Chain A
Amino acid sequence: MTGPGTRRYGVAVLEADRRTRNQILRQAASISLAVTPFAAAFGVLCAEANFSLTETVGFSTLVFGGSAQFASATVLADSGTVAAAVTAGALLNLRSMAFGIVMAPALKGPLWWRVVVSQLMIDESTAIGVARTELRWRRFGYLAGGIGVFVLWNLFTVLGFTILGGAGDLVTDLGIDATIPAAFLALLWPRLSHPDQRLIAAIGAAVAVVTAPLLPAGIPIVAAGLAVVVLRPWRSEP
């Protein structure tokens, strides 16, 4: 097993491994950088709503799920109830359960390990992970994406809160408040390629706007989720 042929083969494998690892690290770096404007926008949103820095960073470390954080903080900023804010955020994070089931085989290990890495279960880490077929690369991609996003997401939450958030009138003068709908739209955009998703998105938007003056703050967002009934998700599809 130690002939020159095996050695060359071994070197080729190492070279391929190195290339895969670098490719994954590059993907993780670009995805981590891509989320920074949203994190900064989240920091601004929290500062504008007069949340404390601890509460704001609490969202980014403990909840750690972009769309859920935005939804929940938006509801609170509009003086919605805790129940409405939690429900809106939880409904958006439900998908991380589906991610967890997909990623589980690649994340095997001691209990403490699974407890820690579960917190990184977000769109970005799952996307980088599942793009690979081998379990060890799935694991590596998940960790690289998860850790990269976690660090930059929290860093830019703090930067947005402290630097841009204290700007007062500057926030409306510079149009920084307009980054919130733009961030939501960017999160929604990839889903709009499917007609079913476009349909329920349109219904959800209409429900939220029409019921806004009628229902307590935050409830219109949760009510928009009912749009999924038009696709009858309980029926078993072929």
Chain B
Amino acid sequence: MSDVALTVLVLAAISYAFKSAGPLVLGGDRQLAPWLDRLALLLPAPLLAALVASSTLVTDRQWAIDGRIVGLAVAALALWRRLPFVIVVILAAASTALVRQL
């Protein structure tokens, strides 16, 4: 089995355990331990920020600055202006493409 297929299966099993814990096991009247609840609330921000930063500034484990950083800046501007997601993504792609043409 390829690494990718193995990752899909293991991650799917873990994700399903998280998703189904409430409806299958815990029922309606129990709650998560407060520390686990806070962890679940806090973890996405640093992880997603790490993914934003490294998918913009890192290539093959080395720092690299290229057109992607312009795309990200434009995306941030578009999000700040509350534009729809589709437009955000298109603007990011278009501005990066433009910079690469220069």
Residues of A at the B interface (CB closer than 8 Å) are 34-38, 41, 51-52, 54-55, 58-59, 62-65, 67-68, 70-72, 74, 76, 78, 81-82, 85-86, 88-105, 107-108, 111, 114-115, 117-119, 121, 172-189, 191-192, 196-198, 200-209, 212-213, 217, 220-221, 224-228, 231, 233-234, 236-237
Residues A205 and B39 in contact, CB atoms below 8 Å apart: no
B5 at the interface (CB under 8 A from A): yes
In whole angstroms, how far apart are the Cα atoms of A183 and B75 in the complex?
9
Residues B49 and A63 in contact, CB atoms below 8 Å apart: no
Residues B75 and A115 in contact, CB atoms below 8 Å apart: no
Interface residues on B, range: 35 or more
In whole angstroms, how far apart are the Cα atoms of A62 and B13 in the complex?
8
Please give me the residue from chain B that is nearest to A94 by CB atom.
B40
Residue in B14, B46, B57 whose CB lies within 8 Å of A209: B57
Residues B55 and A233 in contact, CB atoms below 8 Å apart: no
In whole angstroms, how far apart are the Cα atoms of A115 and B79 in the complex?
36
In whole angstroms, how far apart are the Cα atoms of A90 and B27 in the complex?
22
Residues of B near A89 (CB, < 8 A) are 7, 11, 14-15
Q: A interface, by DSSP: helix, strand, loop or mixed?
A: helix
In whole angstroms, how far apart are the Cα atoms of A54 and B15 in the complex?
19
Residues of B at the A interface (CB closer than 8 Å) are 2-12, 14-16, 18-24, 26-32, 34-58, 60-63, 67-68, 71-72, 75-76, 79, 84-86, 88-90, 92-98, 100
Contacts between chains A and B (CB distance < 8 A), count: 313
Evaluate whether A68 and B15 lie within 8 angstroms (CB atoms) in the complex, with A104-B27, A204-B50, A234-B35 already known.
Answer: yes
Residues B34 and A181 in contact, CB atoms below 8 Å apart: no
Output the least CB separation between A134 and chain B (Å). 15
Residue in A38, A63, A205 whose CB lies within 8 Å of B11: A63
Residues of A near B51 (CB, < 8 A) are 67, 70-71, 74, 181, 184, 208, 221
Residues A96 and B15 in contact, CB atoms below 8 Å apart: yes
Output the least CB separation between A42 and chain B (Å). 12
Residues B75 and A191 in contact, CB atoms below 8 Å apart: no
In whole angstroms, how far apart are the Cα atoms of A59 and B4 in the complex?
9
Residue in B9, B18, B27, B96 whose CB lies within 8 Å of A97: B18
Residue in A65, A72, A180 whose CB lies within 8 Å of B7: A72
In whole angstroms, how far apart are the Cα atoms of A231 and B35 in the complex?
11
Please give me the residue from chain B that is nearest to A57 by CB atom.
B8
Residues A205 and B53 in contact, CB atoms below 8 Å apart: yes
Residue in A90, A117, A212 whose CB lies within 8 Å of B54: A212
Residues B11 and A182 in contact, CB atoms below 8 Å apart: no
In whole angstroms, how far apart are the Cα atoms of A92 and B19 in the complex?
12
Evaluate whether A186 and B46 lie within 8 angstroms (CB atoms) in the complex, with A95-B40, A173-B97 already known.
Answer: no
A-B contact pairs, 16 of them (CB 8 A): A37-B85, A67-B48, A74-B54, A82-B10, A90-B18, A97-B22, A100-B23, A119-B20, A175-B71, A184-B48, A185-B75, A186-B85, A201-B48, A204-B47, A208-B50, A228-B46
